[in-house]
Amino acid sequence: MEIKNTDYRKAYQENEADANRHMSFVNAAAGVLAIIIWVLYAAKIFTIPDYFYTTVCILFPLIALLMFTPLFMVKTELVRKAWYKYFILFSLLIVIIALNITVPKHSLLFWPFAVLIANHYYNPRMGRIIFVVTIVAMLICLYLGMFFGEFDENLFGGGVVMPDGSVGTVETFEERVKLLDDLRAAGNNRYIKVLVFYYFPRAMIVTLFFMVSNLLNRRTYKLLGKEIRIHDEQEKAKTELGVAKEIQMNTLPEGIVDSREVEIIGELKAAKEVGGDLYDYLTIDENHVAALVGDVSGKGVPAAMFMMKTITSFRDFAAPGKSPSQILREVNAAIYNGNKKSMFVTCFLAILDKRNGKVVYANAGHNPPIIGSNGHFSYLKSNAGLMLGCFKDSFLKDEEITLKPGESITLYTDGITEARNAAGEFFGEERLLNVFNRRAYNCAVELHHSVKEDIRSFVKEAPQSDDITIVTMKYQGDKYSYEEKEFDARKENVSDMLSFIKGFCEKHSFPEDFRNKLTIVGDELLSNIVNHGYENKGGKIYVHLSLDEEENQFALTVIDGAKAFNQLQVDNPEVGTDPKTQPIGGLGIMIVKKIMTEYAYDRINEKNVLVLKKNLAN
């Protein structure tokens, strides 16, 4: 098997570089072992032939080089070079060859070592090369050892019988040549017998080691290739899913609607890279706005595709004069055609008349929404019609309710009520309603944040099993004044943003002291977004200003698409400390918190949403 893909080769090169690091120390250990053996011979622990000192003088510098060069290579990262594995393995073979020539009867066990190492650390081809070199080198070293190495009586058919009957050795080259010639003349050809009885059995053992280790190597190599392919496919799938998620999220409405008459905010948190939940809100005409929430059957890409088809159909058919049931029936007909996988979607659509707070709604098999105002929320009773996409005709009914100024309707998917903790308990409708009625919420951002925090606290470490979607539409009546504007997130535009805020304040005759303080607040927040959120790389900042004329409450909402950045979490500086040593925004955020009455932050649909409020009566 050959790894052809560039990423595969890169991964295997990393594997070989790691093997080179390990083998560098193996080589050093082999060099140390060679020196130890020669030192023992020099200490006369073994019989020392006349030529031994000459051999040591020639090979010792080479062994020392093999000992220290690998360590140097590791430090200099030369282990990543393609040629380095050849240096590693052939230098190891040189050590083994030197030992087998010099002390053949003590070094035979080293021959399989190089083969096993090559097959363990490197690719099968490298293992085959080392095996062939080892087999040839073993034969050559065997005969060289007969003439130049330590006397091995096995190579000569036993020791030499001395005149006194003792068994001796033959040390010099000339004496060994004469002994082998005499043995051959006597019918004992040691050249052939050493080949047949000494070399071939050992070659077979080395071959057996090679076959087993190379087979395992090929298996490991294939598994590595398979693992790399799987990883590559997974990364490709993640990339594709990331693109799909970006496309899906881009189909959702951006930002929030915060006008004189109505406030709408929605968000979706998918359980996987892409999900089947959907929501949308749009202005149908100057007097009507619509909010939609849906939940597609199934998960993953098919559900996401069906979700996008549903949203597209909704936007195509949502038109002035149409009721919610009529719009949903047309959506049903559009998604029913070509629905070969028999998927379906539950939906709840509400259309608000901004002039009087009347909400006309239709339910296609979806969860009942929550309506009310601070401390007085309840579930809205509705007729649950058929989900969309199942049948050619959809039987839906329009219903209506009138919201008072300050009341809201919240649509959500069952990913909230069916969120489970580690014990398998559901978050449930009762717990969700308790979150709404627990305290007063000054804006939808604050309410949504509270719901998410309660779910997070409830499920703890349990994985998210379903998509979570929530949309709140709050009727504000005609008691609000507002202005909004989008700016490029650049340093030179901070002054323009401050002028926009200042103009709103002057228009509504805010106290001069508060206007001055608000300039400090705006400068701090906006500069932080430009400099530390977007890191001076550009982007968009949405600024929304509103005034509740009845409550005399001013609200500043800032939305940006920079990285997650909660300015409100910056710790307050200690009294008396040098402002220059404070963390970014520390002193300014402390001033912001002192000036504003209320503040809330949340990360919604990959955007930072910051809401600051000030009761001007205080």
- Mean pLDDT for 116-140 is 84
**Within 10 Å of residue 372's Cβ, how many Cβ atoms?**
20
Domain boundary among 234, 261, 292: 234
107-116, 181-190, 241-250 — which is least confidently predicted? 241-250
Decide: 351 and 387 in contact? Cβ < 8 Å: no
**Average pLDDT score over the chain:** 80
59: CB partners within 8 A, 6+ apart: 34, 98, 102
Q: Which two tokens stand for residue 145?
A: 């050892």
User: Which tens digit of pLDDT belongs to each residue from 54-74?
Assistant: 555 555 555 655 556 665 665
Range of the structural domain that residue 153 is part of = 7-234
Spatial separation of the C-alpha atoms in residues 510 and 521, rounded to whole Å: 15
pLDDT-derived band at 11 (thresholds 50, 70, 90) equals low
Longest dimension (CA), the chain: 131
Decide: 315 and 280 in contact? Cβ < 8 Å: yes
pLDDT at 500: 92
Q: Which two tokens stand for residue 268?
A: 């979706």
Quick check: is 85 in a domain? yes
What kind and span of H or E run contains 429? helix 428-437
Spatial separation of the C-alpha atoms in residues 69 and 79, rounded to whole Å: 11
- Mean pLDDT for 551-564 is 87
Q: Examine the domain organization and report whether 161 and 103 are in the same domain.
A: yes
pLDDT at 10: 63
- Mean pLDDT for 124-148 is 86
pLDDT at 55: 56
Q: Examine the domain organization and report whether 312 and 383 are in the same domain.
A: yes
* First-to-final CA distance of the chain: 78
Residue 548 dihedral angles phi and psi, to the nearest 5°: -85, 105
Domain boundary among 428, 443, 478: 478
Q: Examine the domain organization and report whether 465 and 501 are in the same domain.
A: no
Quick check: is 257 in a domain? no
- Mean pLDDT for 308-331 is 93
Residue 283 dihedral angles phi and psi, to the nearest 5°: -90, 120
Q: Examine the domain organization and report whether 230 and 377 are in the same domain.
A: no
Decide: 519 and 471 in contact? Cβ < 8 Å: no
148-152, 296-300, 552-556 — which is least confidently predicted? 148-152
**Domain count for the chain:** 3
More confident residue, 424 or 92: 424
Q: Examine the domain organization and report whether 218 and 329 are in the same domain.
A: no
**Is the model's pLDDT at 148 over the cut of 90?**
no
Quick check: is 296 in a domain? yes
pLDDT at 288: 94
**Is the model's pLDDT at 12 over the cut of 70?**
no
Spatial separation of the C-alpha atoms in residues 490 and 529, rounded to whole Å: 9
Residue 156 dihedral angles phi and psi, to the nearest 5°: -110, 10
Residue 419's closest CA among 489, 494, 470?
Answer: 470
pLDDT at 32: 74
Q: Examine the domain organization and report whether 444 and 501 are in the same domain.
A: no
pLDDT-derived band at 578 (thresholds 50, 70, 90) equals very low
Q: DSSP states of 231-289 as a string?
A: HHHHHHHHHHHHHHHHHHHHHSPPS-EE-SSEEEEEEEE-SSSS-SEEEEEEEEETTEE
Q: DSSP states of 131-158 as a string?
A: HHHHHHHHHHHHHHHHHHSS--TTTTTS
Q: Examine the domain organization and report whether 566 and 550 are in the same domain.
A: yes
SS3 (DSSP) at 460 = coil
User: Which tens digit of pLDDT belongs to each residue from 175-229?
Assistant: 888 888 888 888 888 888 888 888 888 888 888 888 888 887 777 777 777 777 7
User: Which tens digit of pLDDT belongs to each residue from 599-611?
Assistant: 888 887 778 888 8
Q: Which two tokens stand for residue 567?
A: 């300015």
Strand ranges in 120-225 using DSSP code E only, listed in sequence order:
160-161, 167-168
Instruction: Say if strands 262-269 and 468-475 run parallel, antiparallel, or are unpaired.
Output: antiparallel
Q: Which two tokens stand for residue 163?
A: 């005149």
Q: Examine the domain organization and report whether 28 and 101 are in the same domain.
A: yes
Residue 388's closest CA among 344, 326, 419?
Answer: 344
pLDDT at 273: 66
- Report the b/e string of 518-535 with b at 16+ CB within 10 A: beebbbbbbbbbbeebbe
Domain boundary among 234, 261, 290: 234
pLDDT at 573: 42
CATH of residue 580's domain is 3.30.565.10
